[in-house]
Amino acid sequence: MGFILFAILIVFVAMVIVSTIRIVPQAHAYVIERLGAYRGTWSVGLHVKVPFIDRVARRVNLKEQVVDFPPQPVITKDNVTMQIDTVVYFQITDPKLYCYGVENPIMAIENLTATTLRNVIGDLELDETLTSRETINTQMRATLDVATDPWGIKVNRVELKNIIPPAAIQDAMEKQMKAERERREAILIAEGEKKSAILRAEGKKESVVLEAQGEKESAILRAEAKKEATIREAEGQAEAIRAIQQANAQGIEFIKNAGADDAVIQLKSLEAFAKAADGKATKIIIPSEIQSLAGMVKSVTEIGQNDEINV
């Protein structure tokens, strides 16, 4: 019987010793109370508490937490009622203040978020509310961060998750968006047609310019060809004249070198007169010296043909 009691005592003592040992995991903190009063805050690691006197009042999560609150009805400056739900990102920085600063921290943050949201949206009109989310988020975060600081909570971000205007406002917005899209479409079509017309005009202008340039180049080529032909023709005529003059000069030189007398020279002059007439002149005046020479030549010719001489 005594052995059983001893064994029970040993087991009880072991259980008490085990219950006094606590291991605080990473990103957590334990708030310890001694006889109902705050004793301290345990951080990460192994800790031992006094049995039956100390107790773990609360286990606090130090990670950043996210709370999604349900939609809240708010009224804008232009008296439009809409539903807005918010998402708050917060982190516990002081476990003691978090435990003893407010009774229900999450509910307190929710109510504070709702009242802050109503105050901020109340100073904005509908269009500003829809287009100023970043401004609203910044104002709400600054207000909530100051208000939750005595609770050991730091608000890192506040985001407007959904903004739900009334059905009539939604229909009007959809019609406005449709009209705006149709207006933009008409503008784009008009700009496209304008650019197309400009491109066609530029293409036509370019074509006319190219055609004019082609005609100009063609006229230049024709003029150059005509000029070249005229030059070639003139060069040919000049060459022919030079050849004739050279032949005449060579003939005269030949006669001179052959020692021809005055009769031969006069005979050549007669031949030159005959060529000059060429059947076209109706009357040619021949000098007397050439006439006598011509008569003598004729007489010699007739003697050779008839074998008789007439004086």
- Output the average pLDDT for the chain: 80
Q: pLDDT for 51-66, tens place per residue?
A: 888 899 999 999 999 9
Number of domains making up the chain = 4
Q: What is the pLDDT of residue 167?
A: 82
Better-predicted residue by pLDDT, 283 or 126: 126
Residue 306 has pLDDT above 90, yes or no: no
Same domain, residue pair 94 and 45: no
Distance, in Å, from the CA atom of 206 to the CA atom of 211, rounded to the nearest integer, reads: 8
Same domain, residue pair 150 and 89: yes
Distance, in Å, from the CA atom of 270 to the CA atom of 297, rounded to the nearest integer, reads: 11
The domain in which residue 174 lies consists of 169-259
Label residue 268 by pLDDT band (50, 70, 90): low
Residue 128 has pLDDT above 80, yes or no: yes
Same domain, residue pair 128 and 42: no
Q: pLDDT for 157-209, tens place per residue?
A: 999 988 888 888 778 778 888 888 888 989 999 998 899 889 888 888 888 88
Residue of 48, 93, 87, 46 whose CA lies nearest to 70: 87
Better-predicted residue by pLDDT, 118 or 266: 118
Same domain, residue pair 253 and 270: no
Label residue 271 by pLDDT band (50, 70, 90): low
Q: What is the pLDDT of residue 308?
A: 39
Question: Domain containing 94 — which CATH number?
Answer: 3.30.479.30
Q: What is the pLDDT of residue 177?
A: 83
Distance, in Å, from the CA atom of 136 to the CA atom of 162, rounded to the nearest integer, reads: 13
Label residue 36 by pLDDT band (50, 70, 90): confident
